[in-house]
Amino acid sequence: MTNRIKTDVLIIGAGSGGLSVAAGAVQMGANVTLLEGHKMGGDCLNYGCVPSKALIKTGKAAYTQQHSAQYGVEAAAGVVDYAAAKDHVADVISQIAPVDSVERFEGLGVRVIREYGRFISDKEVQAGDTIITARRIVVATGSSPLVPPIPGLNDVPYETNETLFELREKPEHLIIIGGGPIGIEMAQAHVRMGCKVTVIEGSRALGKDDPELAEVVLQTMRDEGVVFEEGSDAAKISGAAGAITVETKDGRVINGSHLLMAVGRKSNIDRLDLDKAGVETTKAGIKVDDSLRSSNRRVYAIGDVAGGLQFTHVAGYHAGVVIRSILFGLPSKTKLNHIPWVTYAAPELAQVGLTEAQAHEEHGDKLEVVRFHYNHNDRAIAERQTKGFIKVMVVKGRPVGASIVGHQAGELISLWSLALVNSMKMSQIAAMVAPYPTISEINKRAAGAYFSPRLFESALVKTVVRAVQRLLP
Which pLDDT score, from 0 to 100, does residue 460 have? 84
pLDDT higher than 80, residue 456? no
Which pLDDT score, from 0 to 100, does residue 372 have? 98
- One domain, residues 8 and 139: yes
Residue with more model confidence, 293 or 466: 293
pLDDT higher than 90, residue 200? yes
Residue with more model confidence, 2 or 394: 394
Q: Last residue of a domain, which of 274, 307, 328? A: 328
Q: Last residue of a domain, which of 283, 298, 328? A: 328
- One domain, residues 207 and 273: no
Q: What are phi and psi of 391, to 5 degrees?
A: -130, 125
Q: Please state the rounded mean pLDDT for residues 300-328.
A: 95
- One domain, residues 296 and 380: no
- One domain, residues 25 and 139: yes
- Say how many domains are in the chain: 3
- Report if residue 372 sits inside a domain: yes
pLDDT higher than 80, residue 324? yes
Which pLDDT score, from 0 to 100, does residue 436 have? 97
- Report if residue 438 sits inside a domain: yes
- One domain, residues 292 and 366: no
- One domain, residues 224 and 166: yes
CA–CA separation, 146 and 260 (whole Å): 12
Q: Are 154 and 236 in contact (CB under 8 A)?
A: no
Q: Which residues contact 299 (CB under 8 A, 6 or more apart)?
A: 122, 136, 137, 138, 139, 277, 279, 293
Which pLDDT score, from 0 to 100, does residue 217 have? 98
Q: Which of 421, 423, 420, 428 minimizes the C-alpha distance to 450?
A: 428
Residue with more model confidence, 104 or 330: 104
Degrees, nearest 5: CA angle 108-113-119: 120
CATH number for the domain harbouring residue 211 = 3.50.50.60
Q: Please state the rounded mean pLDDT for residues 91-117.
A: 98
- Report if residue 65 sits inside a domain: no
* Burial class for 464, CB neighbours closer than 10 Å (0-12, 13-18, 19+): exposed
- Report if residue 242 sits inside a domain: yes
- Report if residue 136 sits inside a domain: yes
Degrees, nearest 5: CA angle 307-308-309: 135
Which pLDDT score, from 0 to 100, does residue 470 have? 87
CA–CA separation, 88 and 80 (whole Å): 12
Which pLDDT score, from 0 to 100, does residue 397 have? 97
- One domain, residues 249 and 271: no
**Residue 454 pLDDT class (50, 70, 90 cuts):** confident
Q: What is the CA radius of gyration of the chain?
A: 25
Q: What are phi and psi of 305, to 5 degrees?
A: -70, -15
- Report if residue 84 sits inside a domain: no
CATH number for the domain harbouring residue 390 = 3.30.390.30
Q: Last residue of a domain, which of 248, 263, 278? A: 263
- One domain, residues 292 and 205: no
Which pLDDT score, from 0 to 100, does residue 197 have? 98
- Report if residue 119 sits inside a domain: yes
Q: Please state the rounded mean pLDDT for residues 365-370.
A: 97
Residue with more model confidence, 470 or 56: 56
Q: Which residues contact 387 (CB under 8 A, 6 or more apart)?
A: 216, 220, 347, 374, 375, 406, 407
- One domain, residues 127 and 170: no
Which pLDDT score, from 0 to 100, does residue 473 have? 85
- One domain, residues 127 and 161: no
CA–CA separation, 60 and 193 (whole Å): 9
Full domain range(s) for residue 412 = 341-456
Q: Are 236 and 252 in contact (CB under 8 A)?
A: no
Which pLDDT score, from 0 to 100, does residue 2 have? 87
Which pLDDT score, from 0 to 100, does residue 461 have? 81
**Residue 437 pLDDT class (50, 70, 90 cuts):** very high
CA–CA separation, 35 and 21 (whole Å): 12
The predicted-structure confidence for 396-414, as pLDDT tens digits, reads as follows 999 999 999 999 999 999 9
Amino acid in position 177: I
Which pLDDT score, from 0 to 100, does residue 466 have? 86
The predicted-structure confidence for 229-260, as pLDDT tens digits, reads as follows 999 999 999 999 999 999 999 999 999 999 99
pLDDT higher than 80, residue 335? yes
CA–CA separation, 284 and 294 (whole Å): 14
Which pLDDT score, from 0 to 100, does residue 1 have? 76
Which pLDDT score, from 0 to 100, does residue 167 have? 97
- One domain, residues 421 and 451: yes
The rounded mean pLDDT for the chain is: 96
Q: Are 319 and 332 in contact (CB under 8 A)?
A: no
CA–CA separation, 353 and 393 (whole Å): 9
Q: Please state the rounded mean pLDDT for residues 3-24.
A: 97
How many other CB atoms are there within 10 angstroms of residue 364's CB atom?
A: 9
Which pLDDT score, from 0 to 100, does residue 426 have? 97
Q: Please state the rounded mean pLDDT for residues 115-139.
A: 98
Question: pTM (2 decimals)?
Answer: 0.95
Q: Please state the rounded mean pLDDT for residues 180-195.
A: 98
- One domain, residues 245 and 141: no
Which pLDDT score, from 0 to 100, does residue 462 have? 84
**DSSP run (H or E) holding 361:** helix 356-363
- Report if residue 412 sits inside a domain: yes
How many other CB atoms are there within 10 angstroms of residue 37's CB atom?
A: 16
Percent of the chain with pLDDT over 90: 95
